[in-house]
Amino acid sequence: MSNDKKNADEGIRIQKFLSLAGIASRRHAEELIAQGRVKVSGRVVTEMGTHVIPGKSRVEVDNKPVFYSEERNYILFHKPAECITTLDDPEHRTTVIDLLPDSLPRVFPVGRLDWDTEGLLLLTNDGDLAYRLTHPAVKIPRVYHVKIRGELKDNSPELKKLQNGIDLEDGLAKPDRVAVIRFTGNNTWLEIELHIGRNRIIRRMMDALGFPVMKLRRVAFGNLTLDGLALGAFRDLTEGEVAELYAMCGDLGSIPTIRSRSGVRFAKGFTPKERTMKRQVAPTLEELERRNAKKKSDSSRKAHKDSRRPEAAGIDSRRNRQPENAPRFAHDTRRSFNASWDMEERNDGKERKSFPRDEDKREKKSFPRDEDRRERKSFPRNEDRREKKSFPRDEGRKEKKSFPRDEDRREKKSFPRDEDRRERKSFPRDEDRRERKSFPRRDDRNDSRDSRPGPRHEHKSIVRDEHGFEKKRPFAKGVKPKSRPHS
């Protein structure tokens, strides 16, 4: 028999009932009881040890009924840095609960992760399982990836000292396993496995060795890992994973009903739409408030837009659509309209509200006829108009000043006529010109090869035929032409 069934039969304390119902933690529930804000079966309860039977006792907080459910939630969350692992922070810092959606039931973290530590975090509303997982006697393994400043090599004395354990203020801290993963420049990544959970234990051990921690991430808790879970994402555990956790803790009874939802979801500020750049840390409370305000304004704008639709006002938008047998042309409108409102064509026979006929319509207000209209103000006719001021006629005008006529004009100065002009100096005619010195023709030229400036003589080898065409003189027999040197 499970613990929930035992509690249903025997009754549980009111503080635990409020905690399991998701109203508040046990400590906060005690404060609500002390303030007189809790009622059981209509009576105010101020005693802390009051027992209630789930499903039978009627419990109210601030006059609002509290419903008890036997279903339990188990959430695996990839916690980002710069958020605290608690339900409420007096310093008003971002908590892991602030990052989760408001639609989730009340859950609380199992164990703690530091403010600047990221990695795997389990959240649940199963108090018994959370208590057993964090108890030192159970020894649940926890695996961390640590980035330290400096080089810590294998077989070094510092690494052996870390493996043997380091004395701290609260006792000896000895890891179960230490391994070097890789080197990145002057930094070293280590994998450390522990089964104890103490405040900042890894950071204190590395500071004692002289290797300060630059980054710390928890990658495994028991049988749970971060495989396939991005930063800021969370998912529900499966029934098999919850069964393995119960098996690690020992005798906890039967597994309660698991409220599980498939798929990966994202925390506030880490959704794909909001992730314009890769976020490394959790958003602040101011950023979350701005996000909630923007979400409310968007939802109100969407509601206002939906209210303007015909369906929201109770109007069937299908009536506004054009029927299938609607006329295709404008001249068919009257025929189809009269046919659709004809009482004889109705199958049900019910009288429909029809539009008034033409004879019952009110007479339209018409404008006054032409004979009843006021006489329009007309402009004066031509005979009644004032005579236009005319310009003086031609006979009354001053005589225009005219230019002197041709006969009165001064005689233009004319150039001397051709016969009076001086005889132009002409060049000597061809017959009076000196005879031009002409060069001798080719046939009259000497055959001698004179140099310039005289005319060029023909080569001795050039002869002419009876038609005057040139031809080469053949060489004599036994005489060879002189060869010219190659240039």
- Burial grade of 150 (CB within 10 A; 0-12, 13-18, 19 or more): middle
Which residue type sits at 479? V
269-290 in b/e form (b: 16+ CB < 10 A) is: bbeeeeeeeeeeebbbeeebee
* Nearest one of 185, 184, 194, 183 to 153, comparing CA atoms: 183
Q: What is the dihedral of CA 41, 45, 50, 54, to 10 degrees?
A: 30
Cα dist from 82 to 265, 279, 365, whole Å: 20, 12, 79
Query: Which region, left, alpha or beta, applies to residue 65 given φ > 0 means left and ψ of -120 to 50 means alpha?
Result: beta
Q: How far apart are CA 306 and CA 6, in angstroms?
A: 50
Is 418 designated active site?
no
Catalytic residue among 62, 98, 114, 370: 114
- Contact residues for 25 (Cβ-Cβ < 8 A; gap 6+): 19, 87, 108
Count of H helices and E strands in the chain?
Answer: 10, 22
Query: Which region, left, alpha or beta, applies to residue 452 given φ > 0 means left and ψ of -120 to 50 means alpha?
Result: beta
Q: Catalytic amino acids?
A: 114
